[in-house]
Structure 1
């Protein structure tokens, strides 16, 4: 299993905004990395939870124009 580097954030869990740790992650096997080029794991903005949401993205996808 391969643990991808986390982009945009250093930690995924915080305690009282002082302590941080990387608890949440995607683990991928070699086949995923062969099938999906430029796969990246991003940390998103945290809201009310003490965990930061993460998203797995495969390169720059063009989904067309934004509706809003």
Structure 2
């Protein structure tokens, strides 16, 4: 889109019929969706309760190697 902006400012070309404009807008929308999905995933992982850790005091019936 920077290239199209350059063409619009310096060469006074129209952007309404250029497929590169639509591709740039589409890629920006897809990028925002990926970032949003990543943030939602991080929020889901961080909001779950922590798993309790258990310590074993003594083992019965197992031989030490």
- TM-score scaled to structure 1, two decimals? 0.17
Question: Greater relative contact order (Cα 8 A, min sep 6): structure 1 or 2?
Answer: 1
**Structure number with higher strand proportion:** 1
**Structure number with higher helix proportion:** 2
- TM-score scaled to structure 2, two decimals? 0.17
Larger Rg: 2
